[in-house]
Structure 1
Amino acid sequence: MTSNCHNLFIFLVCLLNVAKIRAQCEVPRAGDQRVLTPESNKPTYSDGDTVTFQCIVGYRPVNPKTYRTLTCSGNSWDYSTLELQCTKKTCGPLPDFPNGRYTYSPDGAEGILFGATATAECNEGYRLLRYPDRHCRDSGWDGREPVCEVVKCLPPPEILNGQPDEPLEDVYEYGQAVTYICNAGYTRFGDSIVSCSSEGTFQPSPPECKKVYCDPPNVPNGKRIHGRPPFTYKSTIQFACNVGFKMVGSGSLVCERNGWNSSPPNCTEIRCEPLPDFPNGTYTYSPEGAEGILFGATATAECNEGYRLLRYTARHCQASGWDGREPVCEVVKCFPPPEILNGQPEEPLLDEYEYGQAVTYICNAGYTLFGDSTVSCSNNGLFQPSPPECKSHCEEPSVEHNRVLTPDSIKSAYSNGDTAKFQCSAGCEPVDPKASRTITCSGSKWDYSTLKLQCTCKKLEFPSCLTSELLEIEREKLKLYRDRLAVEKERLQLDKDKLEVIKSSLTSKKKSVEL
């Protein structure tokens, strides 16, 4: 029994030691630029222990009053109580130092925070002797204020044929200047004033003093209109070419350091060169041949077929080239062609047509087209040829009952509205002399209802061969009448065409006078 109690005691002691070991916290996490204070640094932490945090070097609390401690609860830390937030310390901007200033790295707001660098830069004309950089530390900017010393120069050199306007000194400071002057009869080239620069030398280079003289130039086919010798530095001379010649090169020269600023001009015979063809037209030249493009020649504009000249008829070869402006050729335009009876254009007529555009006519049903069906806008501004005619026609009237057509009623064709007159055949006479003898072509048919002529004939005894001869004579007469009518119709058409040509010619002349 005693042994059992002893073993139980040892077991309880072991349980207490295990519980004690488990009730410990590991080293707490810091992070966010935080560390434990020296007194809070321990190898182990028991339940209920507290630790305090502070910002790392170069950082400070965003809010100095925030809670900075943690408590070990069991075997873990309660981080909910840690409010400390850290931010970089600022060293503030450094004031400018004598004859210089600072630039900061990195740029912007970071340039004055912990870890930044301030680099010294001297003003123009000064150089840095010591203390080029300063750094933002935990306690502020380190280092000392930089020292900038004014730049100094040795005296500038002497020059030939000239000298400084005042005696030279042994040494010059930045910005001090020396002025040079040339001896009498010499011209200065370059800046008269040189200054002690930030590099410790005089800038720019000293001037040169030289004597300058230019010989009078010769210009064939030209003459001097300004300037007279002697020609010294910056003297000017001006030339003009004789009539009929043009200048190649500059007519004005200036005497410079090494002679005239450019070569003398050349006076060459004026040639205007052939003009390029212009839109819808070409030029003809007067006089002809090679002289047609020399000074004084004339280029006359001519429009292509179907175009007419609006403006700028001629151009002349002048000293400065062809005068005037490019001619303007406008396409010939026509008013719409006329309407025709018993027919119409294939398509609706436009308000205006250009040269070459065509209109095609068609006849109404029952009508026949006579003439060309297509007319075109011609060069004279009129449609050519004349529009066609649409005629309804009837066949040759039938003759019977001892009636024949009168000679003036015999035609090759009969149009709508034409009339034909009958008479009694040879050897016959009217029953009623006042009876109606005419018929009218209506559309394509004869209206025989108006023909009232009745003929009675004497009975004559003729051999059958004689009757045949009489019929043949009548046929011949009819053929002669038809041939005569065809010739007459052709003659009328020729007269009509002549009238159209005369009308077109008069219209063209009228337009030319208006232009």
Structure 2
Amino acid sequence: MRTVGWSILVFMLASPASGQVSQDCSAPDKYPNTKLDTKYARRQKFSHSEKVYYSCDDDFTAFRGSRVVQCVDGQWTKLTLKCEKISCGNAGDLPNGEFQYEGNSYIGEKVFAVCNEGYTLKGLNYMICKRSGWAGEFPSCEEGGITCPTPEVANSVQRTGGVSAYQVGENLTFTCSEGFQLNGAQQTTCDASGQWKPQPPQCVPIPDDKIQPSPGSCGVPPAVSNSNVHLADRFITKTSFFSGQKVYYNCDVGYVAAGGRKSRLCNNGKWTPLKLKCERKLCGSAGDIQSGQFVYTGVEFGDTATAVCDEGFMLVGSATRHCMNNGWSGRNPVCEAAVCEDPPEVSNAEITGLQHEPYTYKSVIRYSCRAGTLVGEREIWCTKHGTWSAPAPECKEITCPSPNVPNAYWTGNHNQKFQYRATIYIQCNMGYVMSGPGTVYCERDGRWLPELPKCQRRRFVNQWG
């Protein structure tokens, strides 16, 4: 009696576990600096053991962890993917000075140039981090104390002798180009604050009825075709130049000077030829990719480098980098091994080839039916796209109808069901002749093959007339 009671108690304790049903999951959690892959974004219900994938937000890049979470009995596993902001990194060395960073060199942040004592900054005092890297002209620190930069007065005659900075106390006298007149002080002085006092004047157009062209002057310099150069900004608005006056040219964005003078001269009403030659800037290698490589159209300004992963690996990040004025745009993408989800389970089937995660490219699994007939592919494998080569097969019970042939009987199978591959032998009753095969078998589509025979009454010939 005691043994019976103990057995009932064990059964009661075991019953709830044996009847437990796996629970579905609701929409996956949100994590900082990540986003759920688009194909899962609108779904609100996920089945047990189903997996979903995350990626990093824009302006962020993955630096460790897995992209996958899985639904386990109504709860999602924790996402281990960690994303960090894209950083431009170190801006380089500033001779005779140093760079001071606004933050961690993230997109939108600035780096400021600070010169050592006794040196003066030339150019903008900052650069900005963009997706293509540090943007802006690289500053420089020149030897000397407080100075004033050469003032840019449009439509004035520049007589600075190539001086880019002036010492405190030095004066500048301005003369306007032909067709323009001064509006403001003709002379200005560099003061101790590094500013010109009074402010430099403007050169404004002289009314048409007062213009007196000088002999030998030149008009606007003719454009230079197919040279990748352009007239310096300070000369763009001028329409007249005196004889002996020079204008200067710069290389277009993405090009660098490769020889020849940057200036041309107005000589008695004619412009001398421009000798400046500009070539495309060189970006060099875009870097190395583990389990992949870059395919280049070239390594100069305007060219592209496209990342191609080895077979069985999938690209994460932007595939294409562009050779820009400041080097290659963006960052190198990553080639991750193609991973398939766990192979689908099939009712009444056994799976061989199961392994611990992950199922990578060329992993193979095989199905075999414990009961019924396998319909579909017996063997499937993980493709280079991270998907299984075919849907999972099914184990179906396939039967053929009873082989009812009039005037006949059959042998070979005495089960109530005629399953796939069942074979029977048909014989006609006495006095009947068979038309068709005497042996048939049950095919996987539930038909007898070959077709069932027919039994026809034997005809007797009267030999006596």
Q: TM-score range by the shorter chain?
A: 0.3 to 0.5
Scaled by the length of structure 2, what TM-score is found?
0.39
Structure with max Cα Rg: 1
Q: Name the structure, 1 or 2, with higher relative contact order (CA <8 Å, separation 6+).
A: 2
